[in-house]
Each structure stands twice: as structure tokens, then as C-alpha cells.
Structure 1
Amino acid sequence: MKKPIIFQNIPCTLVTGFLGAGKTTVINQLLTTKSTDERWALLINEFGRIGIDGALLASTEDSNLEQQKIAIREVNGGCICCTSQLPLQIAISRLLSEHNPQRLLIEPTGLAHPRELINQLGAPHWQTALKMQAVIAVLSGRQWQQENYRNQDGFQAHVRDADALVINRYDQLHESDKQALVEWIIKLNSQVTIIWAPSEQATSDVKNAYLLALNDQLSNSSQIISKQRKINIAPPKKSVIGLQPRIGAISTSPLSAPQTDSKEHQINTDTDQPYRYHEKQQDILLAGWRLPAHYVLKADDLHNWLLKLPNWLRIKGVVNTADGWLQINFTPDSLTTSTASAQIDSRIEIILQLDETDNTAKEDTTIEYMPELSATSIDWDTCDQELMAMVV
């Protein structure tokens, strides 16, 4: 009988941040600091059921994760910071046993409360297996500028529960605003290390200095988690800010192939069949589509169609278009589209705000919304037909 592998002191870094803060970008930057002979593993948690972040991390043209000794495991369809620790334990145990990494990075969903994950990682059964390094939180300067973000407990929580804070998208902030941001951060967490992410126009020296500062956090022990281990309090019951635990039915639907008659289909998760789901969770609506790789969509039409969805909070995707494979990463303050390597299928996932009266998150942005529509009034069959109509 084979003896179980006992893992000890594997460096582990938690990368947190509010929805749309830019966690995936920071993880990609951390990956560039990896030595070629090291084995790293990534645990990515997405609240949606399809899973896109793994593709966003691995979809550069020259990316080959196996050759780079990087293993990715995605946990989709809920938050790993739930009242039961089982999903997190299983995911970490499998990553360690199957890939024997020398370093583990964990990216929880932006809808999660970091304190609950810190509670779990501070539990006694992880104290010998994992060596918890600095908790890195990501903060968007553009989000912080909006009062409804910075006054929200869920937004503040990522600052309070961080050893290091990476600030990005601050190019529109005046010096006085940046000073006010620093003062706001210090009030929440006077011990946090602040790292300013450089813009794309920054010099190579500035970018290299940033990567060195970021890489330093991989070898700094987490004071936040160390304190939590000493306190040894039980994790709170709720797992997601403003959301209840996942209960109730999920609505899933296969899509009709282009230029075919509408027929009743069985739900099919095969990558050769189109698929859509949508699910209501208190004040948000999650929805996603998966399309076979040979479905080629009109890029401009898709872009415009996504932006017309009502009250959206986040749009992510990796899609085969007439302009090639594209990554889509939209937040209310940032629209990013870039080239991607070919995938086994196209994926789109969206998060919509169901509270029609709360439009404050859309103030002072350059993106056009459609307040006359609401997420609750969406006709999903019509959405499916519109999406299929974009297939070339």
C-alpha cells in the first residue's frame, strides 16, 4: 500500500481583491517572477459555473503551462469561503498530491470576504502543510474614487485583511487624491505595505522595481494569518458579502446551433454543444455561455451586445471571433480586450446587479448603461438567439 505524501511548509500566497480589482493581472505578473525550474500551482475560485479566469491566466499566444511547470485547478459554482471547509480542503489536497508544487497561489472570487478564507487557512490542519506568505490584496484606484465602493464594508475588507496592497488604475488620480487614498488605507490598516502598480507607459526600470517589490511578498510571512491563528476564532457563517449561501434551483439551457430549427434539448456540458446557465443570488444575477470552438463570432457585434446588457457589474470571456481568439475583461471602469491563444471552447460569464434602484456604481464612468432595462426583465431565450445570430 502506497504511503500518503506528507506536505510540509509549502509557501502559499493568497491574492484577494474586490470584484474587478485586477487580481488576475497581478497573478500573471507574479508568474513572470517564477524560476523556470520551480513548480507552481494556482487555485482559482469563481462564483460562476463556467470558469474563465484559468483561461485568462493561460491565454497568451506563447503560453504553455505544462512546459512552464504551472498547474491550475479551478473551483467554480460557489465560494470556497463557505461554512463548510470541505471544498477548499479537497482542492488544495488534490493540487498538492497531483502536482507536488513548490509554491501555491490562491485567488478567491471577488465576491468573497477575505477574513473567512484567512480563518480557514489559519486552521490547525494547514499549519504544517502550508507556510502562509503575505496576503496580497489588489485595489483599483478608479473604484476607490467612487463613494459607493470605498464606503462598502466588502470593499474595505480587502484592505483590512492584507499584508500588502497593490494599487492599480490610479492614473486619473491627482496627487491630493492619492494622498487621501493613502490616508484612507492607513485608517483601515496601518501595517499594510503599499505597492503602486506602474502604468503600461512606465519605464522598464520602474516596471522591474515593481516586480521585485511584488516578488518580495512571496517570501514574507503573513502577519494577518499569524494573528488569526493565535486568535483561533470560528469562521463566520456567511461566505459572501451581501449574498446568502447557495440554495434554490439553477436555470440551465442548451443553445440551438446556428441556422437550425428550435428543438428541445437535454442539458449537455460537452464542449461540442452550446450551453447557457443563469442563476439568481439575492441581489445579483450570474449568467454564462459556453460555445464550441468552431463557432466564430463577430467581434464588434459581440462587444456592443455585451455592453448593452442591463446593470452589469462584470463581464469576462475568452471567445473565438472573426478577429481571432480574444480575451474580454470588462468592469464598469475598464474595458479590456486582447488577443488570446486558441481554447477548447468559447466562454462568456457575466454578473448583473438586480437592485434596479442602485445605480450609483455607474456614476462618473465612461461606459454607457441602459437604466431603462433591468436584469430581472431579461428574456434569456432572446439573448440566446441574439448571440447565435453573431456566429459567422
Structure 2
Amino acid sequence: MTSISVKKPIIFQNIPCTLVTGFLGAGKTTVINELLATKPSDERWALLINEFGHIGIDGSLVASSQDNNFEQQKIAIREVSGGCICCTSQLPLQIAISRLLSEHNPQRLLIEPTGLAHPRELINQLGAPHWQTALKMQAVITVLSGSHWQQEKYRNQDGFQAHVRDADALVINRYAQLQDTDKQALIAWITNLNSYVTIIWAPDEQATADIQSAYLLRLNDQLNNASQIISKQRKINITHTQKSVMGLQPPRAAKSMSPLSDSSAESDSDQHDTDIDQPYRYHEKQQDILLAGWRLPAHYKLDAHELQNWLLKLPNWLRIKGVVNTTDGWLQINFTPDSLTTKTASVQVDSRIEMILQLDEDAAKEEVDIELKPELSATSINWNTCDQELMAMVV
């Protein structure tokens, strides 16, 4: 008889894993890039990015900020778009992490959830017993914008506060406008929510090389500090379950979804680079926000000045980001209401723009298609007109 060899499943154990969280527009991508810059050249790292919208852009923003390509740097990136990986079942998270680990065998994993996520949900998942031998959870690094904190609408919002409550280390940026009394008030506010958190003040661009170096060293230290937040959650989970602790194994198959289908967290960016006809646009309502995005062929070159003016005139936007081929070359676009940033980017496979817009209360409560009843939206956007205006910028 012919013997049949059976390939043993891969068992992952004690891979250091760091969550980098923060409210929408806090500056997580910057911190991710700073962490990647500290990677030893001989180590393999992996980065899992979760985006709420259907068009993966954050991976391009990270890639464009690196001097060399990721293959040379031994960094693997996986994007999960179309919803929050922590909002439904554990399957999307398990599939995404399993693929990264099995395909790239990294020595460290970084996870960046969407800024609209509630960090406690993800911490609950990663604190489950079946993750305990697979991942060695390090300090949860949370990014907080000082300019956001100054605004009462953020400061008093539970979703904003949640990121501080569930942090092991808090990186505070964009605080140049804060007076000493403001900083003291900020520290008191943080301490009231989380008295055990480590506070790290991010230096500005004018800081000396010594200050920058000291900051990066302290930030890098968090990669090797065990997470007290997740450790506590694991103890809670263990007392509430009788399931045996098992090593994480790669799934047999994963379901991929069309970007225009239901925005489940199971959607994966592997397929959206190959089977979408361009130019492409989507938009959809989720709770009290409106998501929209475009993908354009790489050879479409847009007028840089007109594009930025057009984006800024969109009503009620909370976040705009993109990597676009323009008359000024390839540009990263990263807009929040208190920070407008454009940077030179490397050449991409296509241009991508994505935005999050705030709906008014009446529109948010209505369970209807905004395409059919646009008057319910505070934005009142005619998407066909937007398409025409965008195409008119192609030179």
C-alpha cells in the first residue's frame, strides 16, 4: 500500500503581539511607522490593519512612509476592510491573524484596529483562552490627540474615553496648543479614567535628535512590556469558560466578500486588488456615519489643488484619507478637522480616496437607503455629481 503523508498543522506559540489603538484621526499610523522604524533588520514583523470602510488605504499610508519596500524590510502587511474585526464573531480576527502567521511566520505582530472600534471588544477576544498560547500580548498602546481632548464633544464621549480606559501606554500628540494648566487638566482627566496607564508625550517635528531618540526608545520599550489590561481580561475569561486551551491553527478556508456586499468584518483586502473594475465608487450608511470611497486607475492624474479644495468643501466630514496620483506627483492625503496633512507618496497600483462623514440625528435614526432619500442626510450629497466632479479633475 502507498503511504500518505499528512502535513501537521502549524501551531503558533508566544508570538509577541501589540495593539495600537486610538480614536478616529488620533495619529495611529504615525505611531505604527515609528514602531516599524525601530524594527531590528534581521527580524520578521507583521502588521494587521483593520479599516471601517471598504477601500484599504492605511496600508498604503504606512508603506509610503517607509524608505524601502516591505519585502526588503521583512514586514508583512494584511488589511481587513469592510467593518470592525471586533464587532461580530471572533472568526474574522482569527482568519486574519492565522493567515499572517502561517504565511509569513513573523517574530512580532502589530494590530491596528479602526478608530471607530471599541477597544474592549478586541481585548475581550484576545483575552480568550484559545489565544493564550498563540500570542504573547504586550502593552496596549493608545494614541490620544491633545487637540481632540480640548473639544468637549470628544472629551465627554464614551467611545473616546474607552480608548484611555483600556490602555497600558498612552501616547499624547498634537498638544502644542495646550498651556501648562491644560496639560495638568489632561493628566487629571486621564488619571480619573485609568490611574495605571503610562503616559508618553510625543515630540513635535522641531524636537532635537536626542529628544526624538529618547521618545522612540521609550515607545519601543512598550513592545516588550506585558499587557496588564489583557492579562486581567484573560483571568476573567478563564473563570467563565470550560474550553480547553489550544494553539491557534490556520483555517481551512476563508470567505471573501465583494466590497459592495454587506460590510461584514469577514471581508478581506486580498481580493479587492484584482477583481474591481475601475473607476469604482461605493457609499453606505452605518449608524450615525456615512462612508464613501473611490478607486481610480493609476494613470488617472488629478489636479492636486482642485482635488484638495474639493475634498475640503465636502460637508460634515470627520476623516478623509487617500493615496492619489496628482499633478504634484503621488500624494498621501490625511485630513482630520484639526489636521490637514499631505505628503509625497511612492507609486501605487491605483489611486484611493476614502472618507467618513457625520449624519445629522434624523438621518442617523432612519433605516433607509440614503441613495433613495438623500434629503434625510445632513450631507445631502448627490453621488453622481461627485463622480462627475472627480472625473473633471483628471488632466
| TM-score, reference length from structure 2 | 0.86
Pair 1:251–1:157, CA change in 2 (3 A): closer
Q: Do the aligned partners of 1:310 and 1:374 also contact (CA within 8 Å) in 2?
A: no
Quick one: percent identity of the two aligned structures? 84
Residue pairs, 1:297-376, within 5 angstroms: 297-355=302-360, 375-376=378-379
1:156 aligned to which of 148, 158, 161 = 161
Q: Deviation per CA, 1:163-192, whole angstroms, max 9, x where unpaired?
A: 000000000000110010000000000000
TM-align CA RMSD: 2.2
Q: Do the aligned partners of 1:119 and 1:234 also contact (CA within 8 Å) in 2?
A: no
| Partner residue, 1:20 | 25
Worse-matched range after superposition: 5-14 or 58-67: 58-67
Residue 180 of structure 2 corresponds to residue 181 of structure 1: no
Give distance in 1, aligned partners of 2:26 and 2:216. Answer: 18
| Partner residue, 2:146 | 141
| TM-score, reference length from structure 1 | 0.86
Residue pairs, 1:223-238, within 5 angstroms: 223-232=228-237
Cα distance, 1:5 vs structure 2:
1.4
1:82 aligned to which of 84, 87, 100 = 87
1:377 is paired with a residue whose SS is: coil
Cα distance, 1:141 vs structure 2:
0.1
1:382 aligned to which of 380, 385, 391 = 385
| Partner residue, 1:93 | 98
Give distance in 2, aligned partners of 1:234 and 1:14. Answer: 24
Q: Do the aligned partners of 1:311 and 1:374 also contact (CA within 8 Å) in 2?
A: no
Residue pairs, 1:206-221, within 5 angstroms: 206-221=211-226
Residue pairs, 1:150-299, within 5 angstroms: 150-232=155-237, 270=275, 273-299=278-304
Q: Do the aligned partners of 1:271 and 1:345 also contact (CA within 8 Å) in 2?
A: no
| Deviant stretches of 4+, over 4 Å | 249-252, 267-272, 372-376
Cα distance, 1:2 vs structure 2:
1.4
Cα distance, 1:157 vs structure 2:
0.3
| Partner residue, 1:126 | 131
Give distance in 2, aligned partners of 1:71 and 1:196. Answer: 28
Give distance in 1, aligned partners of 2:166 and 2:275. Answer: 40
Cα distance, 1:64 vs structure 2:
0.5
Cα distance, 1:38 vs structure 2:
0.3
Cα distance, 1:63 vs structure 2:
2.8
Cα distance, 1:268 vs structure 2:
11
Cα distance, 1:60 vs structure 2:
3.3
Cα distance, 1:374 vs structure 2:
5.5
Q: Do the aligned partners of 1:250 and 1:278 also contact (CA within 8 Å) in 2?
A: no
Q: Do the aligned partners of 2:316 and 2:379 also contact (CA within 8 Å) in 1?
A: no
2:188 is paired with a residue whose SS is: helix
Q: Do the aligned partners of 1:310 and 1:373 also contact (CA within 8 Å) in 2?
A: no
Q: Deviation per CA, 1:221-266, whole angstroms, max 9, x where unpaired?
A: 000000001111889xxxxxxxxxxxxx8699xxxxxxxxxxxxxx
| Partner residue, 2:251 | none
What amino acid is the match of 1:188?
L
1:87 is paired with a residue whose SS is: helix
Pair 1:251–1:321, CA change in 2 (3 A): farther
Question: Number of residues paired by the alignment?
Answer: 352
Q: Do the aligned partners of 2:33 and 2:65 also contact (CA within 8 Å) in 1?
A: no
Q: Do the aligned partners of 1:250 and 1:277 also contact (CA within 8 Å) in 2?
A: no
Pair 1:103–1:269, CA change in 2 (3 A): closer
Q: Specify every segment of 5 or more residues in structure 1 that has no aligned partner in the other structure, as ranges.
A: 236-248, 253-266, 359-371
Q: Do the aligned partners of 1:285 and 1:375 also contact (CA within 8 Å) in 2?
A: no
Q: Do the aligned partners of 1:352 and 1:375 also contact (CA within 8 Å) in 2?
A: no
Q: Deviation per CA, 1:69-91, whole angstroms, max 9, x where unpaired?
A: 00000000000002311000000
Give distance in 1, aligned partners of 2:213 and 2:340. Answer: 26
Q: Specify every segment of 5 or more residues in structure 2 that has no aligned partner in the other structure, as ranges.
A: 1-5, 242-259, 264-271, 364-374
Give distance in 2, aligned partners of 1:250 and 1:60. Answer: 31
What amino acid is the match of 1:221?
A
1:231 is paired with a residue whose SS is: helix
Give distance in 2, aligned partners of 1:85 and 1:61. Answer: 31
